[in-house]
Structure 1
Amino acid sequence: MSALDLCRLAGTVFLAVTLVVIGDTCGKLLTQSDVDPFIVAWSRFAIGALVLWPLARIQWRELAGMKDWRVILRAVFIAGGISSILTALKTEPIANVFGAFFVGPIISYVLAVVFLKERPSTTHTILLAIGFLGVLLVVKPGFGVTTGTLFALLAGTFYGCYLFMTKLLAGAMRPTRLLMSQLLFGTVLLTPLGLTSTFPPNETAVWALLVASALASTAGNYLLVIANRTADASLVAPLVYTQLISATILGVIVFGDWPDPVALLGLALIALSGLGSLAVRRKPDDRATIMRSG
C-alpha cells in the first residue's frame, strides 16, 4: 500500500472512530440526564438497523444464515458491550472509559491463541503488554476503582469476545451482512430491557440526542466496514486506537474532563501499542499492495 493510500485509510478510520465517539458522547449526555443506558443502547441498534437496511441490500434468504450460533453469540457480546460502555459513561470521564475499554484487543488476542492456536508474535505480545500496562494506569486497580470503571472493563471484555467471534466468522458472511446481523439481534435482545426501563421524557433535546447517538454510531461502524473492505484488517485494527484522541478531545470540550497525569500516560501507552502494531504489521510487500476496490 502506498503512503497516500495509507493516509486515506487512516483518515477514513479516524473519521469512523470519531463518529463512534460522538455517538457515545451523546449517550453520556443522555445517561447523565437520567435516561436509562438500556434505552440508549436499544435505540442505537434499532435506528441503526432501520437506516442500514436499504444500504445493506440483505436478501430475505440471507436472513436464514443469521441463525448460526456464532452470529447470535457475536450479537450478544456487542449488545452487552454497548450497554456496559453506556453505563460506564454515566459516571466516568469519556477518555478513561475508552482507555479501559481497550482491554478488548488483548482479550481477543488471548482467545485467538488459546482456541484458534494462533502463534503469538513476540513483538506483538510485547506491544499488547505495553497496551495492558496503559489500561492498568487508566483503571488504577487497588486505588478506589469505581463501578463505572468496572463497567468499562466489562465493556472491553465483551468487545474482545466480539472481536474473537468476528474472527471465527471471517469469510463466512459479507461485512454489511455481519453488521446488519448485530443490529437486528441487538435490537431483539435489548427490547425486553428497554421496555422495562424508564422511558425518556418527551423532550425535543432528548429525542434529538437519541437519534444523533444512533446515527453517529451507525455511520462510524459503516465506515469501518468500508475500510475493512478496502484494506487488510491488520492495517485497520491498529488505526482504531486513534479513537483515544477523539475521546480525550471531546471529553475536554464537552464535559471539561481532563485525564489526570497517570491516566494520560496510560492513554499514551495504549495509543503507542496500537500504532506500534501498525508499524510492525506493515510488511515490505504491503507497501507495494494496491488497495482493493470496494
Structure 2
Amino acid sequence: MTEDTDLSEGYVSIPTDEDDLSIFLNGLDSMPLGKAGNKSLREKLGWNEDHNRYWRAHGRALDQGKIEVGRGRGGSVQLVKIIEELDNGSEATNVLHQSAPLNPQREANLYEPARKVIDNSWAKAENYDEYVVSITATRGRAYTGGKWTRPDISILAIKAYPYLPHRYFEIVTFEVKPKDQTTVEGVFEALSHQQFATRSYAIFHVPDLNQNEVFLDKFPDGQRILATARKHGIGVILATDIEDWETWDEILSAEKTIPDPEQANRFIATGFGSDIHDKIIKWHK
C-alpha cells in the first residue's frame, strides 16, 4: 500500500517499503531464470539514481528468504522459488538413476513419528520455555545450497536461566536415517546444518538392534559414525522404534555451536511458515 502526501499540486503516491519489495521481486521474476546482476536489475527497475532504494528492497528480500545472493561483478541475485524448482527437477532425475536397496524403508515415512517424539518427549526433557518443532525436509534448499543442508526436523526454542541476564535462542536440527542407511553420511548431513544451527543430531532407525547388542559390533560403519560425530560435535541417537521415546538412546550429545547469524536468520525465514515467524517475533519482545 502506498502513502499519500498532500502537496499543493495534489496528491502524490509515495511507494512504501512493501511496495518496493514487490517491485523488486516482480522485476527479478521477469528476468531469465529469475536471476540478474545487481546493476542490471537496478537499471531495469529504474532505480539507477537511487541506490539506497534498491539496497533497502534487496535487504528485505534477503531477510525474508525470497532471494539468494550470488557472485559476479557487482554481485547477483536469484529468486529462491526458481532455485527450488530447478533443484527439485534435478533431484527427481537423480532418483531415477540411483540403484535402490531391495524393499527400502522410506525416510519420509519416519519424519512425522520422529517429529512427534521430539515434540512430546525430547524437547520437553530440554526444559525449554517455548519451542516449536517442524518437519523442514520439504521446505527446499533455499537457505543454503543443496539437499544435504535441509534438516529433516528442526526445533526453534528459547530458554531463560534463573541466574543469567538473557534468554537464549536455540536452533536444533535432526537428520533422520532409515534402517538401511546406517552410514556416516547421516553424520555429514547433520554436520552441514551447523552453519545455521546451535546443535545438530543424526537419528538412526535401528529396529534390528537388540538391547544386548553393541552398535559398533552390529553395523560395519558404526566406528566411523561415532568417531566422525565426536570429532565434529554431532549428536547421535539410536531409535529401535522410531515412534517410542523409551527406545531412543542418545549415545552422543551434540555440542553447542555459535551459528552464523545471517545463515540462521535465512534458515528461519525459508524453513518455517509465517505463523511460526510471528511466534518467534513475540518471543524476542
TM-score normalised per structure 2 = 0.27
Higher-RCO chain (CA-CA 8 Å, sequence separation at least 6): 1
TM-score by length of structure 1 reads 0.26
Bigger helix share? 1
Q: Which has the higher strand share?
A: 2
